[in-house]
Amino acid sequence: MSLEKKETSSSSPLVSVVIPCRGFNAYLEESIAGVLNQKHQNLEILVLSDSPISPSFPRTKVIVAENQGPAEKRDLALEHSQGEFLAFIDDDAFPAFDWLDNALASFSDAQVGAVCGPGVTPPSDSIFQKASGWVFASWLGGGPFSFRFLPQERREVDDFPAMNFIVRRKSFEAVGGFNSSFWPGEDTKLCLDLTRKLEQKIIYDPRVLVFHHRRPLFYQHLEQAGRYGQQRGHFARVLPGNSRKLSYFIPSAFTLFLFMGLSLPAYSLVLSLYFFLLCLTVAWVYSQEKNLKISLLVMPGIFLTHVWYGFRFIQGFLFRGLGR
């Protein structure tokens, strides 16, 4: 990451970068360093932590928010920040040098309420972390949402995770921030409010890039995927506006077919086609990564992710009472 800096312009807007965390860790230090090295230098950093943090960092304010979830911590930014824009990033992610500059360019359109971009797996991640990243970044593993993990064409979206999300302060205030009763998925509710209540646009720009460390295969990756599946199933029932999409139901349909479709004539044909697509995906990952072990790990990674996400989605869709 380049350490080059640009002179601060008096006309450039102040951006408040908001990082929720449990406490100090090496990834957080990397995240703060990446923000401090931004090309856009008119910024402040708010770290919302369960406990005090040492060492201290320039232009960084630590807010102790013990026993509060990520959404509740992010909402505290309204009380403790001064920025015209709020830039949310996870503590295990760090931004590219021109992250904020590229994001702010899209706000020249007054109808844009928020800007987001991909969270790419860092080159420094382990083999099992990189395999996890390719599970989500591949078309078979991530489906139509692979653009969240790999830069693709600029577009308008109606839902995006808060690991890389920049929003106008006025828009964030107008909708009351995140809905803190949801975690994960509080960002889904925010996006729905921005696009439906305020009728604003959310722009995905591949140049608004951060590097996001992955949960390694298999246990931690599946734990996270299952949590997302359960909450998405819940949202498909209670927030149909941006969650009741066919693509979210497909892993559940596949899981049910896998365990209940043994007597169907097409059972072997469907599984053979699925295995063929897995092989094509392995070949594609190898063409990108040039690492056979990572490529081969992606095969069971995608299969297990589909099954576990699908099962947990059904749980979330059928049972009430989900939240933080």
Q: Convert the pLDDT of each residue in 195-254 to its tens digit.
A: 999 999 999 999 999 999 999 999 999 999 999 999 899 889 888 888 888 999 999 999
Mean pLDDT of the residues in the chain: 91
Contact 239, 192 (CB under 8 A): yes
Identify the CATH class of 1-117+160-207.
Answer: alpha beta
pLDDT tens per residue across span 88-139: 999 999 999 999 999 999 999 999 999 999 999 999 999 999 999 999 999 9
pLDDT at residue 300 is higher than 80: yes
Arithmetic mean of pLDDT, 148-153: 97
The reported pLDDT for the residue numbered 180 is: 62
Give a three-class secondary structure readout of the chain: CCCCCCCCCCCCCCEEEEEECCCCCHHHHHHHHHHHCCCCCCEEEEEEECCCCCCCCCCEEEEECCCCCHHHHHHCHHHHCCCCEEEEECCCEEECCCHHHHHHHHCCCCCEEEEECCEECCCCCCHHHHHHHHHHHCHHHHHHHHHHCCCCCCEEECCCCCCEEEEEHHHHHHCCCCCCCCCCCHHHHHHHHHHHHCCCEEEECCCCCEEECCCCCCHHHHHHHHHHHHHHHHHHHHCHHHHCCHHHHHHHHHHHHHHHCCCCCCHHHHHHHHHHHHHHHHHHHHHHHCCHHHHHHHHHHHHHHHHHHHHHHHHHHHCCCCCC
The reported pLDDT for the residue numbered 5 is: 37
Residue 321 banded pLDDT, cuts 50, 70, 90: low
Q: Where are the domains of the chain?
A: 1-117+160-207
Partner residues linked to 18 by β-bridges:
46, 88
CB burial of residue 238 (10 Å; 0-12, 13-18, 19+): middle
The reported pLDDT for the residue numbered 324 is: 44
Arithmetic mean of pLDDT, 150-173: 96
pLDDT tens per residue across span 7-49: 334 469 999 999 999 989 999 999 999 999 999 999 999 999 9
The reported pLDDT for the residue numbered 265 is: 84
pLDDT at residue 142 is higher than 70: yes
The reported pLDDT for the residue numbered 285 is: 97
pLDDT at residue 271 is higher than 90: yes
